[in-house]
Amino acid sequence: MNEITESLAELGQGALAAKAAEPETGRDGHTHETACLNCGTSLVGSHCHACGQAVHVHRSLGAFFHDLLHGVFHFEGKIWRTLPLLAWRPGRLTREYIDGRRASYVSPIALFLFSVFLMFAAFHALESHEGAEIPNVRADNFEQAIAASEKELAALQAERQSLKDRRADTQALDGRIDSKKQQIEALEDTRSAIAENLPDRQSYSDFRQIDKAIKKFKKNPELAAYKLQTYAYKYSWALIPISVPFLWLLFPFSRRFHLYDHTVFVTYSLCFMTLLVILGMVLDSLGAKAVLAVLFFLPPIHMYRQLRGAYGVGWFGAFWRTVLLGWFASTALVIFFVMIMAQISL
């Protein structure tokens, strides 16, 4: 229940962040001011033409929670016009936003923020919380002593049971059993202490930072996994600047397309991939493995359609660019992963 509550909290936080990035359009409110409450300029229309503040200023608790629910579930109606285009005609959505026809759609950064929050909320809600034991492989020299002591303990317990069946006194034997249990516990504690303090000299990667991060995972997997999720969540925006230069390489030195165009393309593409991951997590939790396998083929199809619509290239130009874009996307993910692992190793 606590995980579901945390997921809903993250979802609400994501909606508020996205709503902050997506300025609201005008609508009738409870107050009708003649001058802007922010800068005092005379008002003409639903927003101040000097500072941009809306005429409508909420002054009731009900209106505040209405805005919260509106932000979470409606995105002011734009989300329902944006998602179908994002899924089926991503190129048209990208091109319309670049060309300035934006009033009907959620901006790429707002949709990206919301989808990232939604993905982590879904992850926390659907993840399994059954902990798996991590075998300790660095203190094998204690295994033999512990095994021998456990064998002696089993023999003592069998002897005690025999005495008990004959209704004989077991007090002396009880003391030996307790002593043997304490001996086993001391051996196990010593083994654990040595294992935790011995330096792990094994090399797992050619990258020093990644190697340190992997060692931290082995030493404390729960803490390392928590850090991985936290840093991936905080730095998810970095995927945009990491990916844009790769997309520029598909249209080098083009005068028709600029870095801004590529940024809008990348951000909307990441939104779709994030929502696809969420769908995959839901299907996996429902056991729909067959449908889940189909999702694997959707990213290249989506890239192809977005390239054709956004940049107006032919089928062959879109095809070879899709192949390269697939490689570029994998490279961008590796760079992002290395960046996150470097943060964990600090």
Task: Convert the pLDDT of each residue in 254-290 to its tens digit.
Answer: 888 999 999 999 999 999 999 999 998 888 888 877 7
Q: Assess whether 70 and 120 both reside in one domain.
A: yes
Q: Looking at beta carbons, which pairs linking 215-223 to residues 24 or more positions away fall under 8 Å?
A: 216/344, 216/345, 218/134, 221/134, 222/131
Question: What total number of domains does the chain contain?
Answer: 2
Q: Assess whether 122 and 146 both reside in one domain.
A: no
pLDDT tens-place string over residues 39-66: 888 888 778 888 877 777 666 666 666 6
Vertex 249, ends 94 and 304: CA angle to 5°? 45
Q: Assess whether 299 and 162 both reside in one domain.
A: no
Q: Assess whether 246 and 324 both reside in one domain.
A: yes
Residues of the chain with pLDDT > 70, as a percent, come to 69
- Enclosing domain of residue 160: 140-197
Q: Answer yes or no: is 304 within a domain.
A: yes
Averaged pLDDT for residues 68-86:
73
Q: Assess whether 125 and 151 both reside in one domain.
A: no
Q: Assess whether 171 and 81 both reside in one domain.
A: no
Q: pTM value?
A: 0.64
Q: Assess whether 327 and 263 both reside in one domain.
A: yes
Examine the pLDDT at 164 and tell me if it is beyond 70: yes
Band (pLDDT 50/70/90 cuts) for residue 293 is confident
Average pLDDT along the chain: 77
**In whole angstroms, what is the distance from residue 139 CA to residue 146 CA?**
11
Band (pLDDT 50/70/90 cuts) for residue 329 is very high
> What is the pLDDT, as a whole number, of residue 338?
81
The last residue of one of the domains, among 197, 223, 240, is 197
> What is the pLDDT, as a whole number, of residue 90?
95
Q: Assess whether 69 and 174 both reside in one domain.
A: no
Structure-block tokens of residue 274: 């994030």
